[in-house]
Amino acid sequence: MKPAAFTMHRPRDLEDALALLAQHGAEARLIAGGQSLVPMMNLRLATPSVLIDLNGVDALAGIRRDGDLLRIGACTRQQTALECDLVQKRAPLLAAALRHVGHYATRCRGTIGGSLANADPASELALAAITLRASVTLRDKTRARTVAASEFFLDTMTTALRPDEILTEIVLPAALDGTKVSFREHARRHGDFAIVAAAAQHSPKDNRLSVGLGAISTVPLICRHIEEGFHAEKLATTLDTLVATEIAGINCLSDLRASASYRSKLGAVCLADCVRDAIL
């Protein structure tokens, strides 16, 4: 099918984009890479009457180190981030997650911010963001606010973004030297939507473990039982119990890809493997 008719605006700077968004309100949709929005428009599941194309807003793209933080512009292409030395060194979990996002060609067009704002429950980038305690910057015509990733994802394809706001960047704490990461995903085919995905990062320097589980629920989840209860030296005897406690508290999704009970069993295996990978 073909998309329904719409009006297209192609602003060159952020101020113009924000003014257009304020003017058109909920009638308008922002388009960046279009790798999720355009399929929905082609299927007429989305029929915005106004599109505001952010591809011409150069200020929204780019990756930079800011002290202990890494700032990634929302319109940075996924493949650009994946190939970036700074991301590989200081956000290795994000790099590991990006390898599972779509395919080479869709990553060349798809953006970091677009994927976060789309908030698919199976999004690898959303999972990496909550696991890394990232935050996003949301900007409207008059001000900017910072929202923790764990408070940004509200429900399936629903976020804390207001209709007049643009997600402008994602901010991540830079990984310490010696950090080990693991990203595990189960999908029917490489590049397909995950049935479950797990992410873990362990930094031996401060013995801090961060763990997240995605695609299993409407939003990606931080695994606090495991993070707080883990002892690296007692891992063999305690991990299975921690994983079981974690999984028991999750209201698992059931859809055409997998039932809730299958997701819960697969989630436990995936999570345990992932944590072991990151620690050992």
Partner 1 sequence: MILRCRVNGEPVEADVAPRLLLVDFIRHELKLTGTHVGCESGICGSCTIIVDGAPVRSCLMFAVQADGAEVRTVESLAANNVLSALQIAFSRHHALQCGFCTPGILMTLQALRERNAWPRSEKEARELLSGNLCRCTGYQGMIDAIVEQGP
Interface residue list for partner 1 (CB under 8 A): 1-8, 10, 34-35, 38-39, 42-43, 51, 53, 55, 77, 79, 102-106, 108-109, 189-191
Closer by beta carbon to partner 1, 4 or else 148: 4
Least distance from C-beta 32 to partner 1, angstroms?
Answer: 11
Closer by beta carbon to partner 1, 122 or else 134: 122
Closer by beta carbon to partner 1, 39 or else 163: 39
Closer by beta carbon to partner 1, 23 or else 106: 106
Q: Side chain identity at 10, as an amino acid letter?
A: R
**Residue 186, C-beta contacts closer than 8 angstroms, at least 6 positions apart:** 194, 195, 196, 197, 266, 270
Least distance from C-beta 149 to partner 1, angstroms?
Answer: 25
Least distance from C-beta 154 to partner 1, angstroms?
Answer: 26
Whole-angstrom CA distances from 86 to 72, 163, 199 are: 10, 32, 20
**Residue 28, C-beta contacts closer than 8 angstroms, at least 6 positions apart:** 20, 21, 48, 49, 50, 51, 52
User: Distance (Å, rounded) from C-alpha 37 to C-alpha 267?
Assistant: 28
Least distance from C-beta 12 to partner 1, angstroms?
Answer: 12
Least distance from C-beta 51 to partner 1, angstroms?
Answer: 7
Q: Is 143 exposed, middle or buried (0-12, 13-18, 19+ CB in 10 A)?
A: exposed
Closer by beta carbon to partner 1, 60 or else 136: 60
